[in-house]
Structure 1
Amino acid sequence: MKLNFPFSCEITETQFQIRGFAWPAVLVGLVAQSASLGMKDSWGPLKALAAASVINAVGDIFLCSVCGYGIAGAAWATMVSQIVAAFMMMQNLNSRGFRAFSFTIPSTRELLQIFEIAAPVFVTMTSKVAFYALLTYSATSMGAITLAGHQVMVNILCMCTVWGEPLSQTAQSFMPEMIYGANRNLMKARMLLKSLVVIGAIAGLTVGTAGTIVPWLFPRLFTNDQMVVQQMHKVLIPYFTALFVTPSVHSLEGALLAGRDLRYLSQSMGACFCVGTFLLLLVRDKFSSLTLCWWVLVFFQWSRFGSALQRLVSPTGMLYNENFNQPEQVKVKAT
């Protein structure tokens, strides 16, 4: 059977072209959001995101249903909502005394400082994304039915993992002053981390249970194909095992980011990625088993957990060593 998709490809290209106009605003908005969260201001970003969601929903209804622009109209609505959200978050910074709309050229020293922070974080994020992409690539070689089951489960996994992100944001917002601030208190930092890990375990158990029950008992919410459902059920145990530990991983890695232990974080993530890649390729070539591929994902997640936990509880780590990675006192230029 021959399948032709010129119309779908054209629509997808148009959608990406329209949304591409908003990328500068998206990047600025992400920076403004991070700045607000770093100052423990979560209401400003929340209001901006709530307004953007309303604009996006109203725009989708008006442009798609009323005006009949289809997916292009949805793309325009999303673009406008992202620009509005970025503007609102920048305005929120202005209300707190910052000149968010001013433009300055960073000095060489400032660029170097940004690179020292951004490069390890980039390696960390790239390794994580690349591993998930390789996991899907491995499932692709096992046939359309297997790939369909994998896609359903990995999409549910991605929806459930976002519940752990607030733990990472909390660690990054509150722990820096406990580790490096004028009133630094490593005991409070350790207590906060312990609380975050415990909350992460509870959240992982709750979200993991709910996220497993839905595809297990109600698979027809996603597909009516019984063969695809069978593939979904094959990976339920490793899916739950990986999802259970994810919120705790977020809290631990958020603590490493807060303490600027970026080199270790990037190196450990790189090591987990390399070992996980080797195991995925081995499983794909020797066993061609989707279940084993998901057990490699379990290894990847638990390796990240063990590596970050070992670093944070180490007597020479940031939470126990008073002299760990103490930054030099430098003047910061206001912008």
Structure 2
Amino acid sequence: MKDSWGPLKALAIASAINGVGDIVLCSFLGYGIAGAAWATMVSQVVAGYMMIDSLNKKGFNAFAISVPSLDDLRSIFTISAPVFITMMAKVAFYALIIYFATNMGTYTVAAHQVMIQTYWMWTVWGEPLSQTAQSFMPELLYGINRNLSKARMLLKSLIIIGAILGLILGIVGTAVPWLLPYIFTADQKVIDEMHKVLAPYFISLAVTPAALSLEGTLLAGHDLKFVSLMMSGCFTLGAIVLLWWIRFAGLLVCPHRISMGKNQYTRFSMMDTARFFLCLQRLLSPTGMLYSEESNDYKPEMLKVA
């Protein structure tokens, strides 16, 4: 609905409540982890209420409760199932990397924790590009004023912004653990492990923002089957390569676990690069949603309940 301020205000207030709650319940009242859990729960309830109230101000009755019909459930499943598969494939691949990292020794898993946490911090900067595509693309692809030329211009702008942002994130994100590793640890062996994965780490950071803008465009165009199959394929292939490397190649370099950690992040960057090129090829196809005037599988319909 192109309303970014509503969620922003809700999450800002929820974060403040969570932070204050953690300090009061954990530090002053001594409730420990239970206090942190209660603070998180209250903040989420407040955020949910504020978002519902924001919808109500736009003319919706967000507090209304109705039993969905089978057609409603089918429509929801058609959209949510591919998106669920896509998200689970991403999470499963990251979990697989964590699993292998924990089996490579203390130094490797310590370095991995630093790198993966900083990775999440930098890649979240690319999410607004995906959200922008999902917000503005539908009206250009399927709206009353359908304009594929403007849709292509928007995607071009998003890719350019994503490329510039990715380059900045890659340079800054790689420079921090490279030049300022002592922010995270004073152990030289952990630092050495971190430095071994900087090249694939840079590639992954650089390509992710543009890839997110492409994925957002595919989601806006309801090309959900392709997105889910792409991510499932990347996860499957990446898992097979990781398993092969650990079970076979790992036997040959067992004394040098550090090279195995490097190859894990190489697979990481390969997955992100593959996502980018597969999505780009799909969108640039002459029969794709951005070029074919006849490719309009998604038909807008009047909603029964608003």
> Equivalent residues in 2 for 1:83-98 (5 A)?
83-98=45-60
* Residue equivalent to 2:257: none
Q: 1:111 corresponds to which residue?
A: 73
How many residues were matched structurally?
Answer: 297
Q: Partner of 2:61: helix, strand, or coil? A: coil
Please report how far the alpha carbon of residue 171 of structure 1 lies from its aligned counterpart in structure 2 after TM superposition: 0.3
CA shift, 1:164, in A, is 0.6
Pairing partner for 2:18 from 56, 60, 83: 56
Q: What is the CA-CA distance between 1:325 and the residue it aligns to?
A: 3.5
Q: Post-superposition shift, 1:131?
A: 0.7
Alignment-derived partner of residue 255 in structure 1: 217
Which residue number corresponds to residue 167 of structure 1? Answer: 129
Q: How far off its partner does 1:87 sit?
A: 0.2
* Letter of the structure 2 residue corresponding to residue 204 of structure 1: G
Of stretches 321-330 and 236-245 in structure 1, the one that deviates more from structure 2 is 321-330
**Deviations, residues 281-303 of structure 1 (Å, cap 9, x unaligned):** 12222333111111111110000
| Aligned counterpart, 1:232 | 194
Aligned partner of 1:307 in structure 2 is 278
Contact (CA 8 Å) 2:142, 2:299: kept in 1 or not?
no
Report the RMSD for the aligned CA atoms in angstroms.
1.2
For structure 2, the residue ranges without an aligned partner over 5 or more in a row are 251-259
Residue 142 (structure 2) aligned to one of 174, 180, 199:
180
Structure 1 residues 55 and 329, CA gap change in structure 2 (3 angstroms): closer
**Which one of 271, 275, 278 corresponds to residue 237 of structure 2?**
275
Aligned twin of 1:292:
263
Amino acid at match of 1:84: V
Following superposition, the deviation at residue 324 of structure 1 comes to 1.4
Q: Do the aligned residues in 2 keep the contact of 1:149 with 1:231 (CA within 8 Å)?
A: yes
Q: How does 1:28-39 map to 2 (within 5 A)?
A: 39=1
Bigger mean CA deviation after superposition, 139-148 or 45-54: 139-148
User: 1:63 Cα shift?
Assistant: 1.4
Give unpaired runs (5+ residues) of structure 1: 1-38
Residue 287 of structure 1: SS of its match in structure 2? helix
Distance in 2 separating the partners of 1:330 and 1:179: 15
Retained in 2: the 8 A contact 1:138–1:281?
no
Alignment deviations for residues 289-318 of structure 1 (CA, whole Å, 9 cap, x no partner): 111111111110000001000000100000
Q: What is the one-letter code of the residue matched to 1:96?
A: K
Question: Shift in Å at residue 269 of structure 1?
Answer: 1.2
1:114-125 alignment, distance < 5 Å:
114-125=76-87
Match for residue 132 of structure 1?
94
TM-score by length of 2: 0.94
Q: State the partner residue of 1:220.
A: 182
Displacement of 1:261: 0.3
Instruction: Choose which of 133, 151, 156 in structure 1 pairs with 2:113.
Output: 151
C-alpha deviation, 1:329, in angstroms: 4.7
